[in-house]
Structure 1
Amino acid sequence: MAGLSMRSGIPLLKLPAGTMAPSSQFLAQSYSSEVKARDINLAAMKRGRGGRSSFSGDVVTVFGGNGFIGRGVANRLGKNGSQMIFPYRGDHYKMMRLKVVGDLGQVLFCPFELKDEESIRNAVKHSNIVINLIGRDMETRNFSYTDVNVNGPETIARICKEMGVQRLVHMSSINARAEPERAFLSRGSEWLRTKYAGELAVRDQFPDATIFRCSDVYGQQDNFINRIFSILTRNGFHGIPLYLKGNYTVKQPVHMSDVVTGIMNSLYDPEAIGQTYEAVGPERITMNELVRYMYECTSRTPEAWNFHITELMLDPTAFIKAYMTSKSPFGGVEAFYQQSLDTLERMSISDESEGYPDLTHLGVKLSTLQQRMPWELKARDLFSYYEYETVEEVPIVKPPKILSFHEERDLKNRGAAGLLNIIPGIN
């Protein structure tokens, strides 16, 4: 088709194909699909005074934006005026909750598959920041730990480098090691092993990536609290089975908002480029004491026989339930909270630091358990229906006992006996 154009290229008239006209009068006009898009510097398009109705100049792709930590990151990105791209797989309706995190035109969605490189390329080609929060605590028939923790992050990091992405954030785990600590599984946690391999793969493809090694993250609609209170975790007599009753397992849980703040601060901190951070809480506490405190915050006490802690290694039903739920094709995430044998293994080993900087190096003021945990457990209060008439009626929860350095060292020495600690009088 030929057309009449001005010098600027603006078409004035298009004539049907076959119309005879001198070439000096009519110039060929390309279809719009044949015109290559111009490279636009979005940073030069910053508009507004800040906030959700502004544009910060950042276009951020968040993989796993519909997850627990992803929802918090999405809300913070919308708050500072970033344009967000949320890749998703499956039904797009599950992403609808994220429509409200930003203003009109700031929240975009695109379908993708972790094993489809072209779909990943489409998701990041317009972004200057990419955050990878994809994770799964259990294997499925379609995705193994290697697929989710190694191959997927490696592909995302490689494509980000190819597409000129400026900042990449990757989520890992505090106990990720080439040979993780072992509790009862012969080779330890495969999930932790592949998390470590994923870190190496990301570093190899994108050396400037910022990696966060998280401990157990708790908050609204998390897997950690839900798993502790799940009926699949308890036995028939309200018993909570823990490895060596949780007396030798030291945990350092962190609140979700602190992790999100650390991620957001790292995006604009030059010192975070190529750095690894340990996203852990400010307090180290035994698993036994943590579970005790969580249950007593919900008005459940051992004296009232609402709960008690039992020995995991003497409770075969706990292993059977964990194995069966991990193999079930239904409700592995929403109903069973990704329970598996590997999950039990990770709950049974202590959180160990390797000396990397923590969230305080990113300016995060860490929240203590007493500041956050009672509120997060409020909906699970056994007597939430009851209105206390006087202050004296309100049950007083004993504060969690935080371990000192010397106490933890003593626990570690005594825990070295392993399963012999089951025998009374050994320690």
Structure 2
Amino acid sequence: MSKYYLSFARNKSISQVVEKGIGGRHSDAGFTIAVFGGTGQIGRNLLTRMGREGVQAVVPHRLTDKKVIHFKPMADLGQFNFIQFYDIRNDEATEQIVKYSDVVVNCIGRTYPTRNFALDEVHVHWPDKLSKMCKKHNKDRLVHMSAYGANSKADSSFLRLKAAGEKVMRRNFPESVILRPARVFGRADDYLTLMRFLPHVAGNILVGKRWSDKKAILKMPIHVGDVGQALLNACRMPKIEGKTFELLGSEAYYLNDLHQFVHGTMSGDSSDDNGEYQTQIRHVPIGMLKAYAKMQELAWFMGKPPLDRVLIELNHQSEFPTGMPGMKDLGIEHHHGKLSEIVLECLRPYRPHKNYYDTMDEIKLPEAVNVDEYLKPVDRIRSRIVGDLDKSLV
């Protein structure tokens, strides 16, 4: 078994650390990235961008070779090395993958427990083990994908686990770079397309609400392409060791408006003649939605449920800048994927046939929110959240 995992090993020389070639996918960027979780939504977008620039990749996965065959055309021949039937409990294989890579990226994550893995094993024990191996082999960089709002005092157990994973990363490998993306949207995502699984009765959408909420929930979703580019930049940008970045989209909307817009777009009738949304929002306790998601988890216990309790918690969390480094600090000045420009590409497969070929000119977008105006009454709350986030990393 060990010989199988060693089949991708290479001997480094001076020629392998110097970029060469004609540029683009037909070149060699001079370094290799080990991408754990490369078959996920964010991981495969990262691989696409690595292939365009000639970056070599080692991609361990649990799938069969036939299920990753569509990843191979992303890069030039031999640039991507797929290690099938990989298991994060196989320490020998993990150490060999880390040893023969220059940069290590951890995109492994899960919002629901399975029969094989508990959430604490994925989000805490695995980052602990991976960071120790990176420190042992003196890796150039370790990039870890976390989640927006990760805090040891968060109401969500998922965010508390994410904060614990960041803490062990910092303790074992202080130079690690941590990224905290907001809710990610794109084709076949678990955000916009997920909204069609939320309960609705007689055309009324049930949206959760906490009695302690004083303001409407603000969402700043980010496109998966921007997250992939930020992740690639974090692998090679100098002087960012030990930093934590928040990845937020460039557009902000209220959660209620997003729900109305998405359901209207999928039904092909987003507004009436007066431009008013027809779909009505009915607020219910978040606990009721989590109970509904629990039933979905039980019904889909053999696979991935369309809706789980963690997604309910993340969807009903406000997203706004907390003063931490962001997209601009990772060299991304302009977002390539804006919700107002490509939302129809994500939702078109769910539209009725008569409206399938509509363009963005025929879609009425929700009104964007001015983030600065939204934050004015909650500056005190915002400062407290920033303080809690800083303390959670100590």
**TM (normalized to structure 2)?**
0.82
Q: Distance in 2 between matches of 1:145 and 1:203?
A: 20
Map of 1:185 onto structure 2: none
- Structure 2 CA distance for partners of 1:355 and 1:42, relative to 1, 3 Å: farther
Deviations 1:358-395 (A, max 9, x none): 1012221124421232332233333555667xx9xx74
Report matched runs for 1:298-337 at 5 Å.
298=266, 299-301=268-270, 307-313=279-285, 316=288, 318-328=289-299, 330=301, 332-333=303-304, 336-337=305-306
Deviations 1:24-68 (A, max 9, x none): xxxxxxxxx9xx985545634643122212211111111111100
- Structure 2 CA distance for partners of 1:331 and 1:253, relative to 1, 3 Å: farther
Q: Distance in 2 between matches of 1:259 and 1:57?
A: 23
Map of 1:18 onto structure 2: none
- Percent identity at matched positions? 27
Following TM superposition, by how much is the alpha carbon of 1:85 offset from its aligned partner in structure 2, in angstroms?
0.8
Q: Does 1:203 align with 2:175?
A: no
- Structure 2 CA distance for partners of 1:311 and 1:81, relative to 1, 3 Å: same
Counterpart of 2:341 (choices 352, 360, 371) is 371
Map of 2:199 onto structure 1: 234
Q: Distance in 1 between matches of 2:180 and 2:25?
A: 29
Q: Distance in 2 between matches of 1:124 and 1:376?
A: 35
Q: Distance in 2 between matches of 1:194 and 1:357?
A: 22
Amino acid at match of 1:361: D
Following TM superposition, by how much is the alpha carbon of 1:398 offset from its aligned partner in structure 2, in angstroms?
4.2
Q: Does 1:405 align with 2:372?
A: yes
- Structure 2 CA distance for partners of 1:355 and 1:142, relative to 1, 3 Å: same
Q: Distance in 1 between matches of 2:148 and 2:201?
A: 33
- Structure 2 CA distance for partners of 1:404 and 1:104, relative to 1, 3 Å: closer
Q: Does 1:94 align with 2:67?
A: yes
Amino acid at match of 2:54: G
Q: Does 1:351 align with 2:319?
A: yes
Following TM superposition, by how much is the alpha carbon of 1:258 offset from its aligned partner in structure 2, in angstroms?
1.1
Map of 2:99 onto structure 1: 125
Confirm or deny: 8 A CA contact 2:220 2:252 kept in the other structure: yes
Following TM superposition, by how much is the alpha carbon of 1:352 offset from its aligned partner in structure 2, in angstroms?
4.7
Following TM superposition, by how much is the alpha carbon of 1:321 offset from its aligned partner in structure 2, in angstroms?
3.0
Amino acid at match of 2:313: E
Confirm or deny: 8 A CA contact 2:245 2:326 kept in the other structure: yes
Deviations 1:248-268 (A, max 9, x none): 211111111111111122222
Amino acid at match of 1:312: V
Amino acid at match of 2:186: G
Counterpart of 1:138 (choices 112, 118, 121) is 112
Amino acid at match of 1:234: P
Paired residue secondary structure (1:356): coil
Q: Distance in 2 between matches of 1:198 and 1:412?
A: 28
Map of 2:231 onto structure 1: 263
Report matched runs for 1:56-205 at 5 Å.
56-111=29-84, 112-180=86-154, 188-205=155-172
Paired residue secondary structure (1:361): helix
Greater relative contact order, per chain length (Cα 8 Å cut-off, separation 6+): 2
Which range moved further: 211-220 or 401-410? 401-410
Q: Distance in 2 between matches of 1:89 and 1:83?
A: 20
Structure 1 unmatched ranges of 5 or more: 1-32, 181-187, 414-427
Deviations 1:313-334 (A, max 9, x none): 2994x4443102223454643x
Q: Distance in 1 between matches of 2:140 and 2:374?
A: 44
Confirm or deny: 8 A CA contact 2:248 2:321 kept in the other structure: no
Map of 2:192 onto structure 1: 225
Deviations 1:191-246 (A, max 9, x none): 1000011111111111111110010010111111221122xx13343432212399
Q: Distance in 2 between matches of 1:314 and 1:242?
A: 8
**TM (normalized to structure 1)?**
0.77
Amino acid at match of 1:166: D
Structure 2 unmatched ranges of 5 or more: 1-5, 381-394
Map of 1:285 onto structure 2: 253
Larger Rg belongs to:
1
Amino acid at match of 2:66: Y
Confirm or deny: 8 A CA contact 2:177 2:242 kept in the other structure: yes
Paired residue secondary structure (1:224): coil
TM-align CA RMSD:
3.1
Paired residue secondary structure (2:144): strand
Q: Distance in 1 between matches of 2:63 and 2:341?
A: 37
Following TM superposition, by how much is the alpha carbon of 1:166 offset from its aligned partner in structure 2, in angstroms?
0.8
Following TM superposition, by how much is the alpha carbon of 1:124 offset from its aligned partner in structure 2, in angstroms?
1.9
- Structure 2 CA distance for partners of 1:272 and 1:323, relative to 1, 3 Å: same
Paired residue secondary structure (1:223): coil
Q: Distance in 1 between matches of 2:365 and 2:55?
A: 43
Q: Distance in 1 between matches of 2:286 and 2:244?
A: 38
